[in-house]
Amino acid sequence: MSGSAITPWVVGNWKMNPMQADAQKLIQELKQRLADQHISKERCRIGIAPISIALLSVQQQLADASVEVMTVAQDVSRIAGTGAYTGEVSANLLKDSQIDYVLIGHSERREIFADNAQVVAEKVKNALAAGLHIIYCVGESLEQREKGQAEVVVLQQICDIAAVVNADQWHNITVAYEPIWAIGTGKTASPEDAQNMHAKIREGLSQITPAGARMAILYGGSVKPENAVELAACPDINGALVGGASLNAESFYQIAHAFAQTK
Ligand code: PEP
């Protein structure tokens, strides 16, 4: 199967935003936009990753949307189950609250909160065991890219989790390639560079698992309506993980629409 036959995903990562009233407004606007101009989930799967304390209220507000919008946790504890771990939320507790999707390995977690390869692998292992679907983020820094190490770094990040993923669990993983230098900077990887890396990621995944040919590989890094169509046209770019532009309902909708139309 070619990468372009895969249903695209467009997921908004709200990061540590917004205030409650703005979040409610944003969801209302998005629901209205989806009601006005429907995007079927066969053409594009849409998700939103709010702050952890808003997961349940966002999920509730999205319940009557005209199309399913996935509620995605931005992170998960590396500890499984329940117990004396102040401040942590385990994969089991997410699942218990019907939160079925989680981001793991976002570069902000890796860089600011010391989520190293071992921590990320523990999170992946526990999330899969709890039955969550993971959006696994990978990406190189500007320094690594300039040294010609981008591919090695990204493929290593895939290998970092390979040992904890069982053969039958790969279909529960979506990969998001997010070059760190493109996140929140307004700089986007060129469609050619992004496509090249996505093709390498698919090749790497396919060497590990037959599911690699069918896994969605999202691009993240300053995606906006203005560049979404070009990115969506690349065969191995199967959607987007969207930060800044997901805080505006119209922009986020337009990105999802671009992927739904182009794929
Ligand atoms: C992100 O943080 O996942 C992201 C891609 O951010 P932005 O779209 O703002 O670059």
Both tokens assigned to 241? 């993980």
Q: Looking at the domain assignment, is residue 3 inside a domain?
A: no
Alpha carbon distance 144, 236 (integer Å): 22
13 CB near ligand 1 (under 6 Å)? yes
Residue 156 CA to ligand 1 centre (angstroms): 21
Give the chain's domain count: 1
Residue 215 CA to ligand 1 centre (angstroms): 21
Active site residue 178: yes
Are the C-beta atoms of residues 158 and 120 closer than 8 Å to each other? no
Q: What is the CATH number of the domain that holds 207?
A: 3.20.20.70
Query: Is 3 annotated to bind ligand?
Result: no
Nearest residue to 16 (alpha-carbon basis) of 94, 86, 113, 90? 113
Query: Is 15 annotated to bind ligand?
Result: yes
Q: For position 1, what pLDDT does the model report?
A: 46
Q: Looking at the domain assignment, is residue 255 inside a domain?
A: yes
Residue 167 CA to ligand 1 centre (angstroms): 30
Query: Is 184 annotated to bind ligand?
Result: yes
Active site residue 106: yes
221 CB near ligand 1 (under 6 Å)? yes
Residue 45 CA to ligand 1 centre (angstroms): 18
Instruction: Read off φ and ψ for residue 187, nearest 5 degrees.
Output: -90, 130
Q: Looking at the domain assignment, is residue 1 inside a domain?
A: no
Q: What one-letter code names the amino acid at 205?
A: L
Q: Looking at the domain assignment, is residue 210 inside a domain?
A: yes
Give the Å distances, CA to CA, from 249 to 15, 27, 164, 233, 244: 15, 7, 37, 22, 11
Nearest residue to 77 (alpha-carbon basis) of 68, 87, 67, 69? 87
Q: In the chain, which residues have pLDDT < 50?
A: 1-2
The DSSP line for 155-167 is HHHHHHHHTTS-G
Q: Looking at the domain assignment, is residue 73 inside a domain?
A: yes
Is the pTM for the entire model greater than 0.95? yes
Are the C-beta atoms of residues 73 and 103 closer than 8 Å to each other? yes
Domain hosting 187: range is: 9-262
The DSSP line for 87-153 is T---HHHHHHTT--EEEE--HHHHHHS---HHHHHHHHHHHHHTT-EEEEEE---HHHHHTT-HHHH
Are the C-beta atoms of residues 240 and 231 closer than 8 Å to each other? yes
Q: For position 188, what pLDDT does the model report?
A: 84
228 CB near ligand 1 (under 6 Å)? no
Ligand 1 atom 1: residue of nearest CA: 243
The active-site residue out of 106, 108, 122, 257 is 106
Q: For position 103, what pLDDT does the model report?
A: 99
Q: Looking at the domain assignment, is residue 240 inside a domain?
A: yes
239 CB near ligand 1 (under 6 Å)? no
Q: For position 4, what pLDDT does the model report?
A: 59
Nearest residue to 212 (alpha-carbon basis) of 180, 169, 246? 169
Ligand 1 atom 2: residue of nearest CA: 243
Q: What percent of the chain has pLDDT over 70?
A: 98
Q: For position 242, what pLDDT does the model report?
A: 98
Q: For position 263, what pLDDT does the model report?
A: 75
Are the C-beta atoms of residues 197 and 177 closer than 8 Å to each other? yes
Neighbours of 29 (CB within 10 A): 15
